[in-house]
Amino acid sequence: MNQQLELPFQEFSFCTSKSLDSSSTFINNMKLPVHRWFRFSAGFSAQWVETIISQAKERGEITVLDPFSGSGTTLLASEKLGVKCLGIEAHPFVVRIARAKLLYQTDADAYLEHIQKVIKRAENVQPCIDTYPKLIHECFSISSLESLDRLRQSWEKLADDSSESQLAWLTLISILRHVSHAGTAPWQYILPNKKKQYSLDAMSAFGLMAESIATDMRIAGKMAASVACLIQSDARTCQGVPDNFANLVITSPPYANNYDYADATRLEMCFMKEISGWGDLQSAVRQYLIRSCSQHVTNKNVNIDEVLASHELYPIKASIIETCHKLSQERHLHGGKKNYHLMIACYFLDMARVWIALRRVCKSPATVCFMIGDSAPYGVYIPVIEWMGLLAQAAGFKSFNFEKVRDRNVKWKNRKHTVPLCEGCLWVYG
């Protein structure tokens, strides 16, 4: 990030071996204008998305849908290529990030003028840091937090519904991890007990980020060929998306690997005082998301027998019941006793409903690409790819195939099992 501060369908797949190599990661996006404004790790390659869309356009007119939009990769790629695109995202804070990124066509000079107003006002603001949550005090020095608080207070005083104001908010959000002395794991978890060798000065970082964003606006604004739309909604219903809207779906749903997507923006949400800490994530974020981690589910809020009896799971009923039974027994052999059996049952019920909703909003025929990976909680293998394909067919799609991108879970020294896992593109047609 320091460098940025300097500043009619057939059954086919679009991936080449070269594009597949990095398609499942967000890392290459950090070199691209606008995409790099905020690193949301649960993302995929914008250049890979552009390849899919470009090759689809050669076969006819397309309309794109991304039901798990995240920070807007598919929407931005679609705008660049002049393709109509609609996105859905359920995480309220991530929705705000994506919507701010989609304002890149705002006049860059007007944006910088607003940034200067924020900076000038901040110079005369009295910092008040005592009311920040504990996590914030653990992650920032007193001097850094005072500077950040001045900027936050200044932004709030000037805040309105203008594009410039929303982009200024994103500018402040985007520098937090670079100003913090705390370590962050690759998946955006905060590690206050691990210290970075150096961190950036808040005021300098804010100004440099603003200059970087303005430069990107001038570049990307000239390339934009259409306008995409983002809806804060639930992929399990696709509410807000018209029937028969899309003939191409490009997305990456939450993986069933116990990653808490709600936790990815805890630092930013705590700084903005939208939550007080980890305990607030359930009501603020997690309740809206696909149940892909054990934090979503307990014996108090999930009746596994009722979940497994759901008609939506009929295509995989026998195998998922057997798998959940294994997980239920296995959990007692581990200290954490995590509710992976509940998580897997709920995750696939949620995803079954996603496929049903997608069938409603997709034209016929349509092509759907899910960047997806399998999993093995407690070493019990979950055939995610097969089950996803079967649920898609049960929802009314005709066929599916899978293209492997890479092996997963092979580089971690502390991995808990030796079950081989992979990641790749699940292509669904019909």
CB 58 within 8 A of CB 85: no
Distances (CA, A) of 25 to 49, 52, 242, 309: 12, 16, 30, 36
Q: Which of 5-19, 94-108, 208-222, 321-335 has the lowest mean pLDDT?
A: 5-19
pLDDT average, residue stretch 288-309: 95
Average pLDDT across the chain, whole number? 90
Per-residue confidence at 20, pLDDT binned at 50, 70, 90? Answer: very low
Residue 28 confidence (pLDDT) above 70: no
- For residue 415, the model assigns a pLDDT of 57
How large a percentage of the chain has pLDDT more than 70? 90
What does the pLDDT average to over 204-216? 97
With cut-offs at 50, 70 and 90, classify the pLDDT of residue 32: confident
Q: What are the sequence ranges of the domains in the chain?
A: 37-102+225-429, 126-220
Average pLDDT over residues 233-255: 97
* pLDDT for res 192: 83
Say yes or no to pLDDT of 322 above 70: yes
CATH class of 37-102+225-429: alpha beta
Is pTM beyond 0.95? Reply is no
Residue 183: pLDDT band by 50, 70, 90 thresholds?
confident
C-alpha span between 46 and 322 (Å, rounded): 38
11 — pLDDT class (breaks 50, 70, 90): very low
pLDDT at 1: 32
**Region 128-148 average pLDDT:** 96
Between CA 165 and CA 298 the distance in angstroms is: 40
Indicate whether 36 pLDDT > 50: yes
pLDDT at 392 over 80: yes
User: In the prediction, which pLDDT does 55 show?
Assistant: 95
pLDDT at 13: 43
| Range in 20-34, 135-149, 203-217, 287-301 the model is least confident about | 20-34
pLDDT tier for residue 416 given thresholds of 50, 70 and 90: low
Position 45 confidence tier, pLDDT thresholds 50, 70, 90:
confident
Q: What is the arithmetic mean of pLDDT over 197-216?
A: 94
Taking each helix axis from N to C end, the angle separating 46-57 and 73-81, rounded to the nearest 10 degrees, works out to 40
Is 426 a residue whose pLDDT tops 90?
yes
Q: What is the mean pLDDT of residues 13-26?
A: 47
Sorting pLDDT into bands at 50, 70 and 90, what band is 14? very low
